[in-house]
Structure 1
Amino acid sequence: MKLSLFFLYVFWLFLFSVNAQAERFTFAVAENEAPLSYQQEGIVTGIIPEIITLIFSYLPRHQVTLKSYPWSRAQVQVEYDKADGFLTYPSKRRKQYSHFTSSHAYKLDFGFLIYHKNNTNRSIIESANSFEDLGNLKIITQKGAEWESDNIPEFMQKLEANNLYTMLHWLLRREQGDFLIAIPEQAKYLAKKFGYQHLIAYRHVDFINDSQIPFHLGVRQSHPFARELTEEVDVVLKNEVFRKQVQDIVARYR
């Protein structure tokens, strides 16, 4: 009898191990925000999908499937248990339904000035140490962008566009403004798409408030392994080799 119970216990442990190894997670990503995350010829690709895939490569007993949606819908998929997680900024709203890693996996860095290589004010842009140094220049901004309204001083001369596509056209083709603020990965990707890649230049500055936007891996709170997965991922995120691999991914899109 005791022997039978022992074998039953061993069998149960075996089943538990198999189930743990076969645990699958579905992560929602944006389908149209290149190069951060987008779908191309039916394949989900971009910086965010690559980083998620990289994270799970360090966790071989788990498997991940990526599904792309418009970003607003992707978040709803996680909130209403249609997807298991995402890689994004851990806002107060998202924390209400998701458990996030303590460490960030990636940072969107908006501390870059994007400008035309042949801009006559290039020397001013490249030597500026504050917005005051750029006060006589014109910045191209995006209508309704709350981050810009919070971080760009009122005294700056602004030219407002509806989207980043128009902003780049005005900057690189029409030369209507002197510079704009964006992440270089996205600016360079779109510049190449429009054939402006030979015209674009950028520099990093440290005088823009809140320029670093951390992206953490989040798992819906209703998932039975939400906390366990984020704890495992936190270990991965502290790995120096992993951090270097993330840098390499981002570099390929610049």
Structure 2
Amino acid sequence: MTNSLLARLAILAILLPAMFHFTGPALADTSIRLVFAESLAPLSFDHNGETRGILVDVATDIFERELGLAVEVGTYPWERAQQMVRRGEADGFITVSTAERRAYADCGTLPVLRAPLHPLLRRGHKSLAAIEAAGNLEDLRRYSFISYFGNGWAKENLARAGFDVFFADDYASHLKGLALGRGDIALVTPTSGGYYLKELGLAEDLIMLPLVLDTFEYVLCLGKTSPHRNRLGDFESVLGRKRNDGGYVAVLEYYGLQPSTPY
């Protein structure tokens, strides 16, 4: 983890309680269990045994401070985290809404965060010019892709659409694999993609193209068997107010993102 992010976390630990005003009731006896992808900074990650990240902090603030519902959070391999919600072992997660996830969870429509999806490839790739000239995902069908287990967008839009795609064990592994020649293209956002390019020392080996192929919208999804399923609307009501009045811009800034990122 970079020193700049560690410094922000130290400051955030002090200032986070003051960033939001308490408007909800006292914490209820019951709690909601949310699961997140491990090692997906700055969205979710473990820091000194504590689960942190933009998605974690925003969810905890809204449910606990605004809605009076205690939150239990944990990070897991992303595929496992999703299976926990599917089996009813956890209440929900914040991620991109896909058809597969909507089959076992109710997903919101108001994003906690938006992030554009860009092609990433090795510098000096023999087809760099042709890939740069692409206008959409279909124009890239003849190339091979690398993604990671649990990436529902890649499963739905690449694998099931007939693209040649290999799934690595986790987010960091798929970037390392691309740098080593496993596949032509990875699809990443400037948030986690930009972070791990620096963290893994791959910023000089891989290049992120300006072409935007889609936009990830990270929304709350609550399992259809969760006893807290009916709190989705409450969450989005508070989220909408905070988005409009800049109520969590400070969180984004401390994790190194510009305030305009989610809007």
How far does residue 146 in structure 1 lie from its aligned partner after superposition?
Answer: 2.1
* C-alpha separation in 1, matches of 2:242 and 2:45: 23
Asked if 1:67 corresponds to 2:76, the answer is: no
* TM superposition shift of 1:108: 5.3
Q: TM-score, normalized by length of structure 2?
A: 0.60
Residue 230 of structure 1: aligned partner? 235
Residue 227 of structure 2 aligns with an amino acid whose one-letter code is S
**Given that residues 28 and 83 in structure 1 are in contact (C-alpha distance below 8 angstroms), is that contact kept between their aligned partners in structure 2?**
yes
Match of 2:18 in 1: none
Task: Give the Cα–Cα distance (whole angstroms) in 2 for the partners of residues 149 and 52 of structure 1.
Answer: 31
Residue of structure 2 equivalent to 1:13: none
**How many angstroms does 1:143 deviate by?**
8.2
Q: Which runs of 5+ in 1 are unaligned?
A: 1-17
SS at match of 1:30: strand
8 Å CA contact 1:114–1:184 kept in 2: the answer is no
Contact 1:23 1:61 in 2 (8 A): no
Would you say the 8 A contact 1:129–1:205 is kept in 2? yes
**Inter-CA distance 60–193: structure 2 relative to 1 (3 Å threshold):** same
C-alpha spacing 1:200/1:66, structure 2 compared with 1 (3 Å): farther
The answer for the alignment partner of 2:12 in structure 1 is: none
CA contact (8 A) 2:24 2:67 kept: no
Equivalent residue, structure 1, for 2:17: none
**Equivalent residue letter for 1:149:** A
Which of the numbers 165, 171, 174 marks the counterpart of 2:178?
171
**Structure-2 residue corresponding to 1:212:** 215
CA offsets 1:29-75 (integer angstroms, 9 cap, x no match):
22524223222320112332133245458x54636434204245645
CA drift at 1:239:
1.5
SS in 2 for 1:21: coil
Map residues 128-207 of structure 1 onto 2, 5 A cutoff: 128-130=134-136, 138-142=143-147, 146-147=155-156, 148-151=158-161, 158=164, 160=166, 162-163=168-169, 164-172=171-179, 174-175=180-181, 177-206=183-212
Distance 1:229 1:167 in 2: 36
SS of residue in 2 equivalent to 1:232: helix
Pairs aligned (count): 225
5+ unaligned residues in a row in structure 2: which ranges? 1-22
Asked if 1:49 is matched to 2:59, the reply is no
Matching residue's letter, 1:185: T
Match of 1:32 among 27, 38, 57: 38
Work out which of the residue numbers 233, 239, 246 in structure 1 matches 2:244. Answer: 239
> AA paired with 2:132?
E
TM-score (norm 1): 0.62
- CA-CA distance at 1:202 after TM superposition: 0.8
Distance 2:148 2:82 in 1: 23
Is residue 2:135 matched to residue 1:126?
no
Aligned residues: CA RMSD = 4.4
In 2, Cα distance between equivalents of 1:73 and 1:244: 30
How far the C-alpha of 1:149 sits from its partner, in A, is 2.1
Tell me if structure 1 keeps the 8 A contact 2:24–2:66.
Answer: no
By how many angstroms is 1:212 displaced? Answer: 3.4
Among 15, 18, 21, the alignment partner of 2:26 is: 21
- 1:250, distance to aligned residue in structure 2 (A): 7.1
The structure-2 alpha-carbon separation of the partners of 1:103 and 1:187, relative to structure 1 and needing over 3 Å to count, comes to closer
Q: Deviations over 1:7-43 (max 9, x none)?
A: xxxxxxxxxxx99233374341225242232223201
The one-letter amino acid of 1:26's match is I
